[in-house]
Amino acid sequence: MKRLIRIFFALLLLTLIAINNSFAGTGVIRPVGHLPGKFTYTIQKLDSFLSSTVTATEAGPVQDASPASPDKETAAGNSTRGRICSCQILNLESSNYNHQHIALFAEKTNRGSSADFSAAKNRINKEKKHLKNMFYDKVEVVAEVEAEGSCHSMYVKLKSKDARLQIYEILNADIR
């Protein structure tokens, strides 16, 4: 009989621990961790350092002054200066959630026409329409930004100005 009571209390304790760790906190989409704030900050800094190191090494080694093939030059040009980015900062609201300062990006290859910016903006509008139909009751545009360059660099600039900014997604506007 004592063995049955011990098993019951052990299961009860494990159930309470699982329930306690599965609730999401305020303003957080993922479950809340019980790590100290400084430890979490250190992990975030390490993660950003590692991701920036990976992107720098993915670019490949520095090439010498020998002429490269035209395909490599156009690919390198498209990846850095041949991109445009359109961004809308949104406030999303439903009966269960209220998300503020959510950035939705669309990146497109710059072919030199003004239609590239409108194509990127149209891609964002399609995604906003999808968000409103499927998930949120209210989708409010707080700000719009358009610039040449990658969306990742734009996000870093915007994040330095607004610490509350969260990224939703970087959409590929080249896909129709």
In angstroms, the Cα distances linking 92 to 49, 122, 138, 166, 173 are: 30, 19, 6, 12, 22
The tally of domains found in the chain comes to 1
pLDDT under 70 in the chain at which residues? 1, 20-81, 176
Residue 12 lies in a domain: no
Q: Which structural domain, as residue segments, surrounds residue 101?
A: 81-176
pLDDT of residue 35: 53
Domain assignment present for 48: no
64 in a structural domain: no
Q: Measured between alpha carbons, how far is 127 from 54 in angstroms, rounded to an integer?
A: 29
pLDDT digits (tens, 9 = 90+) for 92-113: 999 888 999 999 999 999 888 8
> Would 56 be classed as within a structural domain?
no
Q: What is the pLDDT of residue 53?
A: 46
Structural domain contains residue 3:
no
pTM score > 0.75 for this model? no
Amino acid at site 118: S
Supply 123's token pair: 């891609």
**What pLDDT shows up at residue 114?**
79
Could you report the per-residue pLDDT of 59-80, keeping only the tens digit for each?
444 333 334 434 434 444 444 4
Whether 123 maps to a domain, the answer reads yes
Residue 61 within a domain: no
Is position 149 within any domain?
yes
